Amino acid sequence: MTTITNIDDLRVLAKRRVPKMFYDYVDSGSWTESTYKANTDDFQKIKLRQKVARNMEGRTLTRTMLGTAMTMPVAIAPTGLTGMIHPDGEILAARALANFGCRYTLSTMSICSLEDIAEQVAKPFWFQLYVMRDRDFMLSLIERSKAAGCDALTVTLDLQIIGQRHKDLKNGLSVPPKPTLKNWINLFTKQAWCWKMLKTKHRSFGNIVGHVKGIDDPSSLFSWTSKQFDPTLNWNDLEWIKKAWGGKLIVKGILDAEDAKIAANSGADAIIVSNHGGRQLDGACSSIQVLPSIVEALKESAVEVWLDSGIRSGQDVLKAIALGAQGTLIGRAYLYGLGAMGEAGVTKALEIIRNELDLTMAFCGLTDINQVDQHILLESTIPHL
């Protein structure tokens, strides 16, 4: 493939280059994958209104997310195991985002650590925190985030328990990869990935190994992490985290207007309308379907509403902004680029989305992303719950 014109081109290339267990980890949802599919399908149902004979010069996509000016209203959603999609993946992606003028979010379950990103990128980024049973470890992550220069903390609320992802179970997903015959055969076909992985020191969960007593081999790591996600998580925990953090707080995993109001009252500065990319509750609504109701619920609030799950193009970003989102986040779209071409692939994914966003906004008769609202959408196609 010599010419890459859209995100799906990157996906096809990533599938060729990334080991199956890690590609499937990215490109799958839970159970029947109905919500995973609805996330993208529902964007396509929303239609745009074309405007002509408008001055299209001087277009700008600059927009703020939590007071930070972005070259476009797109940040990176936290994604675990990114360093297994491409060796040193978190470092490469964070560098690409910093150079592009957008924000990167590092996952708790990343391969490269907070300290790795701070050292190798040396620009502000966000950190995503899971609520774990080990509260002392959570506090240490919060302090490490401050030391690494993170200027916002994201708390994911929809992973108290893990959704059943059939492909991961069938592939025997693990970090490092399990040396089964099936996995070895597949790895042999991904020689470039293997060679780069041999050359890096980052092959395990960098935010955990070396920071938790007794975690010194793959089996102890797996045993510890499998028991840490806390099913007792509640809104009091969010207030406790806000107090411990003391800075800007982003709450991820909101699909319900009532939950959005509670999150706002619990200290959130921004909420992310998200169904975890269709990886948790199969059968839940798509993120874009519930976005208008959540925007309406928080219209009197200073809390920003963002959206992730399902964005594969700049047109999807524009539709989310038109429906009231202050910003958006992408996960799979940039991971496809990372798996396809490393740092250059992440940059390419961002360039594709920016170009599509810019051109579509112009075709809808506008030159400033901050002017975009529901008027650019065909009213009969706007989602209503």
Tell me if 332 is assigned to a ligand binding site: yes
What is the pTM for the complete model shown? Answer: 0.96
- Closest C-alpha among 325, 294, 277 to residue 39: 277
Q: Do the strands 249-254 and 270-273 form a parallel or antiparallel pair, or are they unpaired?
A: parallel
What pLDDT score was predicted for residue 1?
54
- How many other C-beta atoms lie within 10 A of the C-beta of residue 195? 10
In eight-state DSSP terms, residue 368 is B
Report yes or no: 163 and 281 within 8 Å, Cβ to Cβ. yes
Tell me if 279 is assigned to a ligand binding site: yes
- Based on its alpha-carbon atoms, the radius of gyration of the chain, rounded to whole angstroms, reads 20
Tell me if 310 is assigned to a ligand binding site: yes
Residue 307, H or E segment = strand 304-307
Backbone dihedral region for residue 333 (phi beyond 0: left; psi -120 to 50: alpha; all else: beta):
alpha
Q: Which two tokens mark 244?
A: 């411990």
Tell me if 130 is assigned to a ligand binding site: yes
Q: How far apart are CA 15 and CA 319, in angstroms?
A: 28
What are the boundaries of each domain within the chain?
Answer: 7-381
Could you give the angle at the alpha carbon of 338 between the alpha carbons of 360 and 173, nearest 5°? 125
Q: How far apart are CA 220 and CA 319, in angstroms?
A: 45
Beta bridge partners of residue 63, listed in sequence order: 70
Say how many CA atoms lie within 13 Å of 34 toward its Cβ: 7
**Low pLDDT (below 70) residues in the chain:** 1, 216-219, 222, 385
What pLDDT score was predicted for residue 221?
75
Dihedrals phi, psi of 91, to nearest 5 degrees: -65, -45
Q: Do the strands 270-273 and 304-307 form a parallel or antiparallel pair, or are they unpaired?
A: parallel
* Residue from 86, 166, 202, 276 carrying the catalytic annotation: 276
Tell me if 149 is assigned to a ligand binding site: no
What pLDDT score was predicted for residue 174?
77
Indicate if 384 belongs to the active site: no
Place of tokens 């490269």: 112
Tell me if 145 is assigned to a ligand binding site: no
Task: Return the CATH class of domain 7-381.
Answer: alpha beta
Q: Which two tokens mark 292?
A: 């208008």
Tell me if 156 is assigned to a ligand binding site: yes
Q: Do the strands 74-76 and 304-307 form a parallel or antiparallel pair, or are they unpaired?
A: unpaired
What pLDDT score was predicted for residue 27?
96
Please state whether the peptide bond connecting residue 383 to the residue before it is cis, i.e. omega within 30 degrees of 0: no
What pLDDT score was predicted for residue 2?
72
What pLDDT score was predicted for residue 162?
87
Tell me if 311 is assigned to a ligand binding site: yes
Q: How far apart are CA 350 and CA 6, in angstroms?
A: 10
Tell me: the pLDDT tens digits for 322-337? 999 999 999 999 999 9
- Closest C-alpha among 50, 21, 43 to residue 362: 50
DSSP string, 218-236: HHHHHHHHHTTB-TT--HH
Tell me if 336 is assigned to a ligand binding site: no
What pLDDT score was predicted for residue 118?
98
DSSP string, 123-160: S--EEEEE-BS-HHHHHHHHHHHHHTT---EEEE-S-S
Alpha-carbon distances of 149 from 6, 123, 153, 309, rounded to whole Å:
33, 8, 11, 27
Alpha-carbon distances of 340 from 18, 345, 363, rounded to whole Å:
8, 6, 30
Q: Which two tokens mark 241?
A: 């985290």
Report yes or no: 250 and 154 within 8 Å, Cβ to Cβ. yes
Tell me if 89 is assigned to a ligand binding site: no
- Closest C-alpha among 26, 29, 30 to residue 77: 26
DSSP H helical segments within the chain, as ranges?
A: 7-17, 20-26, 34-45, 82-85, 89-100, 114-121, 135-147, 166-171, 181-188, 191-199, 218-226, 235-245, 257-265, 287-297, 314-322, 332-363
